[in-house]
Amino acid sequence: MMAPVVTDVTATTTEKLAWRRNFLNTNARFASPLYISFSHAQHSTVRISSSPVTSDSQYETSLSIVQSLDTVNCLWDACTVLSGCLFSRPQNILGRISSPNQSHLRILEIGSGCGALSIVVSKALGRALREAENSTMIENLEIVVTEMEGELDLLDTNMRRNFVWDDGRSGFTEGSRSIVKVRALDWGSSHHWDTLLAEFETTPNKRVDLIIATDVVYEIQAFDHLLSTITSIARSNGSSSPTLFLMGMERRWKDVMGFWWEEVQAAGWTWEVEPRDSDRTKREWWEEVEEIEIFWLRWDPQS
């Protein structure tokens, strides 16, 4: 039996980058199951391993996923970075995407792959809502996890590994505040989006408050479909407020990235980068990778 692959982040810069997985060999890269654990101390840490943490460990939050070499659905580094941001700055993120009197919050992930990001969203923002129970109006957090219709089985498997199925709410849950739903959404498919939109119309909140994704920008031929999908979501939200898209992205090819941002601007979106701590000695582990950035894209219906 192979020894577990373990990545445990501690104080030094070199160790802070030890969690990176994109350049591991295939066997290690697609190890299953994979356990991802986070601590929420002043200087947070992450542990990624093929073995679970013990009950007496320093890690307060853990999740486990199965990966797929056949579909190349696995834990990418940009997802780990955005996950770290979600655990470190949950109140900042909730403050950007919710209005003062809002009771129902909907977050939709596109290109979900193995579903790790949506699991983190449920755990990180759900935890923040529980801690702020007396100071927030938000009662329900709905996360919609989407992928191509033929790749939903892996998402369903990973949701079942981390949550409990709730027949009454037709989704996966680990508490009364959050619900996770797996749905088909092929980029550029008006049929899939119309089906989702009809479902949303039956709920108190008919809009998508935040779109999320990581590592979805790499194939130029998919840009049109990707932009068509997020812009359709934004237009369906109506004219009451802007639509936000939180995206983790690793810079790979300068010409591809340049073309992407040209297309984004042409589609009517603006963007800004989630800031890193200007004092490098105070940065969290997820802020150390210069080539992975977190972007806030914004579509303003009035523009």
- Our measurement of the distance from residue 168's CA atom to the centroid of its chain's CA atoms, rounded to an integer in Å, reads 25
- Give per-residue burial for 217-239: e unless 16+ CB within 10 Å, then b: beeeeebeebbbbbbbbbebbee
* Residue 301 in this model has a pLDDT that exceeds 90: no
pLDDT of the residue at 15: 53
C-alpha span between 277 and 149 (Å, rounded): 40
- Give the model's confidence band at 254: pLDDT under 50 very low, under 70 low, under 90 confident, else very high: confident
Instruction: Give the pLDDT of residue 42.
Output: 66
Rounded CA separation 80/7 (Å): 12
Average pLDDT, the chain: 87
Q: What pTM was computed for the model?
A: 0.91
Task: Provide the H-helix boundaries in 63-185.
Answer: 77-88, 90-97, 116-131, 152-162
Helix or strand holding residue 229 (H, E): helix 223-236
Contacts of 95 (CB under 8 A, 6+ apart): none
pLDDT confidence of residue 41: 67
pLDDT at position 13: 42
Cα 67 from Cα 74, distance rounded (Å): 5
